Amino acid sequence: MSDLYSYLLVAAIVFTIGAYGIITQRSGIKILMSIELMLNAANINLVAFSSFNGDTAGQVFALFSIAIAAAEAAIGFAILVVLFRVRDTINLDNINILRW
């Protein structure tokens, strides 16, 4: 029982670190790393609940999620590389093309 809470606590800490990273960091790479952290926090939760409930479906989802995260990271880095070529920077403060 208490095992679950500790897993969840670890996941929450990891998630918070990730969220903090997204908000405070300016570098695109660091933000992507932070996103990975948040994703993995969710994976920890999935595996923890799966084990707790004795249902393997959660672990399957975690595997999926890891695969998708890899793909997402690849795309994310690709975008950053392109951005760097175009703008000579990956400092996201300067990149506000989402605006309007």
Partner 1 sequence: MFSEIAALIVLLPVLAFILTLFLGKRLYSGGALLPIAAIAGSFIISLGVFFEIYPDKTVQQSWPWFAGMNLGILIDPLAIVMLLMVTFVSLLIHIYAVGYMAHDPAKPRYFAETSLFTAAMLGVVLSDNILQFFIAWELVGLCSYLLIGFWYFKPSAAAAAKKAFLVTRVGDVLFLAGIILLYFNISDVISSRAFSLDQGNFILQFRSMFEAAKFIDPSQLTLITLLFFGGAVGKSGQFPLHGWLPDAMEGPTTVSALIHAATMVTAGVYLVARTFPMFAATPVTIAPELHIPDSLLIVAIIGGFTALFAATMGLVMNDIKRVLAYSTVSQLGYMMLALGTAGAIVGAKAVGISLFHLISHAFFKALLFLCAGSVIHAMGTNDIREMGGLSRKMKITATTMLIAALALAGIGIPYLNIGTAGFFSKDAIIEGTFELGMETGGWGWIFYGFAIVAALLTSIYIFRLWFMTFTGTPRSERHPHESPNVMTRPLIILAIFALLFGFMQSGFYLYLEKNFELMGVEIASHESEEALVLPPIVVLMPVIVGVVGFLISYYIYHLKKLNMSRFVSSGNPLYRLLINRYYEPRISADIIGVKLTHNIAAQSGEFVDRKIIDTLIIDNAISNTLFRLGELVRKLQTGVVQNYASVTLLGIFLLVVLLKLTGGI
Q: CA triplet 46, 2, 41: central angle to 5 degrees?
A: 30
> What backbone torsions phi and psi does residue 27 show, to the nearest 5 degrees?
-80, 135
Tokens of 58: 């959660």
Is residue 86 a contact residue for partner 1 (CB under 8 A)? no
Q: CB-wise, 18 or 58, nearer to partner 1? A: 18
Q: Pick one of 19, 42, 47, 73: the residue that binds partner 1 (CB under 8 A).
A: 19
Q: CB-wise, 31 or 44, nearer to partner 1? A: 31
Q: CB-wise, 88 or 93, nearer to partner 1? A: 93
Q: Pick one of 22, 33, 42, 47: the residue that binds partner 1 (CB under 8 A).
A: 22
DSSP secondary structure code for residue 41 in this structure: H
Distance from C-alpha of 100 to C-alpha of 6, rounded to nearest angstrom: 44
> At 75, which amino acid appears?
I
Contacting residues toward partner 1, per CB under 8 A = 19, 22-25, 31, 92-93, 95-100
